[in-house]
Amino acid sequence: MISFIFKRLLQSVVVMLTVALIAFSMFRYVGDPVNNMVGQDTTDEERAALTEQLGLNDPFIVQYGRFVLNAIQGDFGTSYKYRRPVSGLILERLSATLELSFVSAILALGIGIPCGVYTALRSEGLLSKSIMTLSLVGVSLPTFLIGILLILLFGVVLRWLPTFGRGDVVDIYGWWTTGFLTISGLKSLILPSITLALFQMTLIMRLVRAEMLEVLRTDFVKFAKARGLPDRAVHFKHALKNTLVPVITITGLQLGALIAFAIITESVFQWPGMGLLFVQAIADVDIPIMAAYLVLIAFFFVIINMVVDILYYAVDPRLRADSDT
Amino acid sequence: MDLLNINNLRIEFPSRHGTIVAVDDVTLTVQPGEVLGVVGESGAGKSTIGNAVIGLLEPPGEMTEGHVLLKTEQIDTLSAENKRKIRGRRIGMIFQDPLTSLDPLQTVEQQLVETIDLHLKLGEKKSQERAVDLLRQVGIPEPELRIKNYPHQFSGGMRQRVVIALALCAEPEVIIADEPTTALDVSIQAQILELMRRLCKDKQVGMLIITHDMGVIADITDRVAVMYHGKLVEEGTTAKILGDPDHPYTRSLISAVPRPDIRLKRFPMVNYIEEEGERTKDLDLSTHWLGKVRDFDDVDGPLLSLKNLVMTFVTKPALLKRNRIMFNAVDDVSFDIEQGEVFGLVGESGSGKSTVARMVCSLYTPAAGEVNFAGTDLTKIKSADELDYFRRQMQMIFQDPFSSLNGRMRVMDIVAEPIRFHKLASNNREVEQIVMDLLDHVGLGAQAAVRFPHEFSGGQRQRISIARALATRPRFLICDEPTSALDVSIQAQILNLLKDLQEELGLTMLFISHDLPVIRQMCDRVGVMKMGKLVEVSPTETLFENPKAAYTRELLDLMPRLDKLSHKGLELEDV
Amino acid sequence: MEQTVEKTRLQRFFNSDVWFSFKANPVAIVSLIVTAIMILGATFAPLLAPQDPFNLAAIDIMDASMPPAWNEFGDLRFLLGTDDQGRGILSTILYGARISLIVGFSSVIFAMIVGIALGLISGYVGGRTDAIIMRIADIQLSFPAILIALLIDGVARGIVPKEMHTDLSIYVLIFAIGISGWVQYARTVRGSTLVEKNKEYVQAARVIGIRPMTILRRHVLPNVMGPVMVIATIHLALAIITEATLSFLGVGVPPTTPSLGTLIRIGNEYLFSGDWWITIFPGAALVILVLAVNLLGDWLRDALNPKLR
């Protein structure tokens, strides 16, 4: 088990370094960093001096190394547009995105998995067929459109829920601001989290359903039935567990994707998170923010992937066979 | 009183092509302590009967007529819940593939206890004790320890024992076994069958064993029912059915079984099932393209000479060479094949025989050793173009008729591909004529050319494969288990065809099989392989009557006892 | 053998299980018709649209913000109303759908070519090449397509000089969406190739002496295309959504050639003032299009799955 974790850690580090390489290349070579930092009337000598001072004439490896070291400490340079350290900008907004993603994840899993199981077991029923149809619609609606429609319905027509922003937030623990502790904060979370969760929810549901249908066709399920085991035991004890094992990997990825998909939701709802920052950075060609966002997202993904792999290892006894026998 | 009574059973499967009658008016009975064998070829409907009795008929199948009685109680009309109560408790079932019958995520103990507790309500502790006891009865060593293992930690044979334990754990009165040993190695098969027979007699359980294998029938059944296309054609004691069958289908089935003790000229009377491929025209081989002996020179000495062949595979890949675990699939194998000879290579799965075949035709590159064909060492040839000259001379027929043809190509193109590649004909019309002649010659008929593989049965597809192999006018043919995936009667036809072709065209053959009786029918000399090594090479008669190696003797002992089988109508070959 | 000889490809198709399941499935038929209508409508937009919304001379600001024709303030000239500039919504939808479909199809084709090629090579050659390609695929798969598309778009913006932005942006977009999607194809094709490679008909071809490239082309490729087609339909839906999303966010197609996503963005600003039709109709068009493509994909997957027949 230990060697497995060690190997995965090693792989993760390699991935992070690769991503850092891409981020760094973007950072350094897209556009001119110096140009973006100084005004029109800076002399050529001053530019040259600045270039030297920033270490931009050093060999590639050195600059890359510097970038990585800085990144580990959280220093991603200064935003071209805001003229402030990128790390500060991101930290301000991190809690907003993470809270939103967390709530959406709970929604997506909490509704997606049970629905998937249900539609697999009762595939002929009316409720099943309706859920399947709705899921098809869910997969066909782009996230931003869902957001717009929800705003239209609940914000404009019914006026039940706020349509933009986070509501009132409370500072806890330094830079983390939470919207969980205020009524307006919670209300503001409802529409965005549903919007963000919907696409993932339907994907997870369809995946669980497909996987479960496969498992229900296997020989060991047939044999379990032949032994007279009641449906409840066959479905939940045997079939469900076997279904969830491959589903773990994909759900892990999906949840990671949530953090990235937050970009869209944040744009529609003007939610002050990292995603909104990122989109604006694309339009403004603010490279430091783009680079930092890339590395951060990669970091989240790598962590999630590793957790998923370890979970997989813990749940499926066949994977442990290599080390035992 | 009969234990199990199946009366006038009729099962239908509605489909878009019309209603398929899988089982038609079948009546069977099983007594306590008796083993009834239901034998037939694929599509006979035997598995369907098993599924219907235990109430697990796959939709859209439905039982339209007849009833099933367990002792005196009618069970096919019970409610779904009552049917479930019978399953496992009064009727147990064993499926074919032990590798997929068990839940991979649960220990053996969990699966056993679950079933025992459900039916016998013994509580956790008592169920665990009983589970250990069952494992001991089915012959699993150290049951107290192994019961905590997961299924993947057992070998195939062991897993089937666990499956048997599971089927028996609630003390059922009837066991239905659907091809229980087909997926197992020959050596394990015998043990499992013996186990089942013993348990059956000891506990006075009635067993319905469904199989296509005559060896199994001869081994453990008391009575036999023969099925053909859903109908019951004959029924009786095992001795009668095997030794003196009445129905022509049964007769033809028995006569098609390769015997371990005698060698036949040809398999007779196999026309009942498919018209044995009729050739519509006789080719005058002295002038026809097929017989044109080939621009290859005769060789002095053996046509194929293998020296010290070695093949290694990596089982555990690793970055550093010293960490890799490798094993020798083929370990220092040498033998010769003379021109015009049929050389057999026999062994169990994993013995390396198929690997040898693939090294001979250059699908694998040997790690060491020489492959001398017609005097040239093929392993030394570097360019693909040079190798083509030799490729023309040897071709291969594979085991699985369903994956050896590209489903998206017409038969014409499949058979023509080698002709076109090696440029063996001068224009397209000639190619087409040759292909149609070949198809006719293998007994398929020229109209087969425009069709696609999926329109043909397994045996017919093997004929297409044979036609393709002949399309380069080879002088050496490698047959890798060419009939192992075919029904017994079809196998007989294909073996007949291969024998005919070998004689007509003077082919040299390397014939690979795990089935000793088949080897006896086809080969002049035989090599026996075990775990990569060649343990014996002898002429066929010597091998069977007077084997030299101990392993050969082991293999011969494991052959099914088919002496009960009738010898009527069989023509022996003069050896 | 009394079966009829199936002569032509077309005859084979009409006799197949696939066609049969299509005929029996009304949903599939409807979706095909809807998709066909939208595709035709989009292709022939210049002929079908009542007005050319991008001809600055043809639009009149006096026609601005008119509701759909069935509304009391509407006008029959503009069936679905007009936007803030006086452009007819129906016309903008037709032209917008055109862009959406062009970008969608092109990205799918691009992703398909790259993915199939890499998948075939990876599966057939194996070894180190396979390991490298799959590593890259795995890393890329960790990032959602939208992120990759956004990044490529952003980087392109930085690299390409400003004057060429408008001309090249559609190609950049196609490239970005395509690159973000090749992995699925590659993985599936690789999986199928690995399976087919070990099948005996491929071995038979090798024994005959046929060269690897020919084997890939003649034997392997036709047999791996089935799952590819299913992925392609799903991918098409996703590509259309991705393009719409990017355009909605303002980083997709340039404003001079608006797609359905751009239209929705434009209309979003007027949502609160009551001119709902400017957003809703393009939104509906987008949803209908994607839904139809998804339904077709679903049906195709079921029809091609041998286990379900």
Predicted local distance difference test score (pLDDT) of residue B287: 65
Res. B285: pLDDT tops 70: no
Across B479-500, average pLDDT: 88
Mean pLDDT of chain A: 81
CA B262 to chain centre: 21
* Ramachandran category for residue C86: left, alpha or beta (phi over 0 → left; psi -120 to 50 → alpha): left
Mean pLDDT of chain B: 86
Interface of A with B (CB under 8 A): 218-220, 222-230, 233, 237-238, 241-242, 245, 315-318, 321, 324-325
Q: What are the chain B neighbours of C201 within 8 Å (beta carbons)? A: 403-406
Provide the percentage of residues in chain B whose pLDDT is more than 90.
21
DSSP string, B546-561: S--SHHHHHHHHHS--
Q: Could you tell me the sign of the dihedral formed by the alpha carbons of B230, B231, B236, B242, in that order?
A: negative
Provide the percentage of residues in chain C whose pLDDT is more than 70.
81
| Stated pTM of the model | 0.79
Across A291-300, average pLDDT: 84
Q: Please report which confidence band the pLDDT of residue B467 belongs to, taking 50, 70 and 90 as the band edges.
A: very high
Q: What are the chain B neighbours of C20 within 8 Å (beta carbons)? A: 16
Best of B117, B152, B155, B210 to disrupt the A interface (most A CBs within 10 Å) is B152
Predicted local distance difference test score (pLDDT) of residue B523: 92
Predicted local distance difference test score (pLDDT) of residue C2: 36
Across the interface, whether the CB atoms of C142 and A298 are under 8 A apart is answered yes
Predicted local distance difference test score (pLDDT) of residue B563: 74
Q: Which amino acid is at A165?
A: G
Rounded to 10 deg, the angle between the A183-216 and A143-150 helix axes is: 130
Predicted local distance difference test score (pLDDT) of residue B529: 92
Give this complex's ipTM: 0.80
Closest residue in chain A to residue C147, using alpha carbons only: A260
Predicted local distance difference test score (pLDDT) of residue A267: 86
Q: Of A288-292, B9-13, B275-279, C256-260, which has the strongest mean pLDDT?
A: B9-13
Predicted local distance difference test score (pLDDT) of residue C12: 61
* Rounded distance between C-alpha atoms, residue B99 and residue A256, angstroms: 35
* Rounded distance between C-alpha atoms, residue A124 and residue A128, angstroms: 7
DSSP assigned state of B90: T
HEC assignment per residue over chain C? CCCCCCCCHHHHHHHCHHHHHHHCCHHHHHHHHHHHHHHHHHHCHHHHCCCCCCCCCCCCHHHCCCCCCCCCCCECCECCCECCCCCEHHHHHHHHHHHHHHHHHHHHHHHHHHHHHHHHHHHHHCHHHHHHHHHHHHHHHCCCHHHHHHHHHHHHHHHCCHHHHHHHHHHHHHHHHHHCCHHHHHHHHHHHHHHHHCCHHHHHHHHHCCCHHHHHHHHHHHHHHHHHHHHHHHHHHHHHHHHHHHHHHCCCCCCCCCCHHHHHHHHHCCCCCCCCHHHHHHHHHHHHHHHHHHHHHHHHHHHHCHHHC
Q: Distance (Å) from the C-alpha of residue B53 to the closest C-alpha of chain C?
A: 24
Predicted local distance difference test score (pLDDT) of residue A323: 42
How many residues can be counted in chain B?
575
Across B450-465, average pLDDT: 89
Best of A22, A104, A135, A140 to disrupt the C interface (most C CBs within 10 Å) is A140
Q: Which residue has the higher pLDDT, B430 or C38?
A: B430
Closest residue in chain A to residue C301, using alpha carbons only: A210
Q: Which of A212-221, C84-93, C236-245, C258-267 has the lowest mean pLDDT?
A: C84-93
Res. A176: pLDDT tops 50: yes
Sheet with B525-530, edge to edge strand ranges: B394-397, B476-480, B508-513, B342-346, B525-530, B533-539
Across the interface, whether the CB atoms of B153 and A238 are under 8 A apart is answered no
Q: Is A123 helix (H, G, I), strand (E, B) or coil?
A: coil
B228-271 pLDDT, tens digit per residue, is 888 899 999 988 888 888 888 888 888 888 888 777 777 765 55
Rounded to 10 deg, the angle between the B428-441 and B458-470 helix axes is: 130
Predicted local distance difference test score (pLDDT) of residue C1: 36
Across the interface, whether the CB atoms of C150 and A263 are under 8 A apart is answered yes
Provide the percentage of residues in chain B whose pLDDT is more than 70.
93
DSSP assigned state of A164: S
Which among C144, C151, C250 has CB closest to A257? C144
Q: Is B568 helix (H, G, I), strand (E, B) or coil?
A: coil
Q: Which of A2-6, A40-44, A198-202, C218-222 has the lowest mean pLDDT?
A: A40-44
Q: Which residue has the higher pLDDT, C39 or B380?
A: B380
B102-150 pLDDT, tens digit per residue, is 888 888 889 999 888 888 888 888 888 989 988 888 888 888 888 888 8
Strands, E, within chain A: which ranges? 170-172, 176-178
Predicted local distance difference test score (pLDDT) of residue A325: 35
Predicted local distance difference test score (pLDDT) of residue C21: 67
Res. B312: pLDDT tops 80: yes
Closest residue in chain C to residue B392, using alpha carbons only: C208
* Rounded distance between C-alpha atoms, residue B236 and residue B383, angstroms: 63
Across A274-285, average pLDDT: 82
Q: Distance (Å) from the C-alpha of residue C73 to the closest C-alpha of chain A?
A: 21
Q: Distance (Å) from the C-alpha of residue A248 to the closest C-alpha of chain B?
A: 15
Q: Please report which confidence band the pLDDT of residue B275 belongs to, taking 50, 70 and 90 as the band edges.
A: low
Closest CA to B507 of B541, B554, B469, B481: B469
Q: Is B25 helix (H, G, I), strand (E, B) or coil?
A: strand
Q: Please report which confidence band the pLDDT of residue A324 belongs to, taking 50, 70 and 90 as the band edges.
A: very low
Best of C15, C18, C192, C201 to disrupt the B interface (most B CBs within 10 Å) is C201
Res. B491: pLDDT tops 50: yes
Predicted local distance difference test score (pLDDT) of residue B421: 92
DSSP string, B320-359: SGGG-EEEEEEEEEEEEE-TT-EEEEE--TTSSHHHHHHH
Predicted local distance difference test score (pLDDT) of residue C305: 65
C177-222 pLDDT, tens digit per residue, is 898 889 889 988 998 888 888 889 999 999 999 998 899 889 988 8
As given in the structure block, the two tokens for residue C230 are 């299913």
Q: Please report which confidence band the pLDDT of residue A261 belongs to, taking 50, 70 and 90 as the band edges.
A: confident
Q: Distance (Å) from the C-alpha of residue B399 to the closest C-alpha of chain C?
A: 8
B472 in contact with C, Cβ within 8 Å:
yes
Burial (0-12, 13-18, 19+ Cβ within 10 Å), B575:
exposed
Predicted local distance difference test score (pLDDT) of residue B318: 63
* Cα separations in angstroms, B435 against B408, B415, B417, B450, B482: 18, 6, 10, 11, 21
A138-155 pLDDT, tens digit per residue, is 888 888 888 888 888 887
Q: Which residue has the higher pLDDT, C59 or B74?
A: B74
Res. B187: pLDDT tops 80: no
Which among C5, C207, C222 has CB closest to B361? C207
CA A220 to chain centre: 36
Q: What are the chain C neighbours of A14 within 8 Å (beta carbons)? A: none
Predicted local distance difference test score (pLDDT) of residue B397: 94
Closest CA to B353 of B527, B516, B539, B555: B527
Burial (0-12, 13-18, 19+ Cβ within 10 Å), B428:
exposed
Closest residue in chain B to residue C20, using alpha carbons only: B16
Q: Which of A271-285, B296-310, C38-52, C166-180 has the lowest mean pLDDT?
A: C38-52
Which among C143, C251, C286 has CB closest to A145? C286
Q: Is B228 helix (H, G, I), strand (E, B) or coil?
A: strand
Predicted local distance difference test score (pLDDT) of residue C4: 45
Long-range contacts of B423-429 (CB under 8 A, 24+ apart): B424/B289, B424/B392, B424/B471, B424/B472, B424/B473, B425/B289
Closest residue in chain B to residue C214, using alpha carbons only: B421
Best of A227, A244, A247 to disrupt the B interface (most B CBs within 10 Å) is A227
Q: Distance (Å) from the C-alpha of residue A115 to the closest C-alpha of chain B?
A: 23
B84 in contact with A, Cβ within 8 Å:
yes
Predicted local distance difference test score (pLDDT) of residue B189: 84
B538-560 pLDDT, tens digit per residue, is 999 888 888 999 999 988 888 77
Closest residue in chain A to residue B53, using alpha carbons only: A226
Please enumerate in sequence order all residues whose Cβ is within 8 A of that of A43, keeping only pairs 6 or more positions apart, or say none.
none
Q: Please report which confidence band the pLDDT of residue B412 belongs to, taking 50, 70 and 90 as the band edges.
A: very high
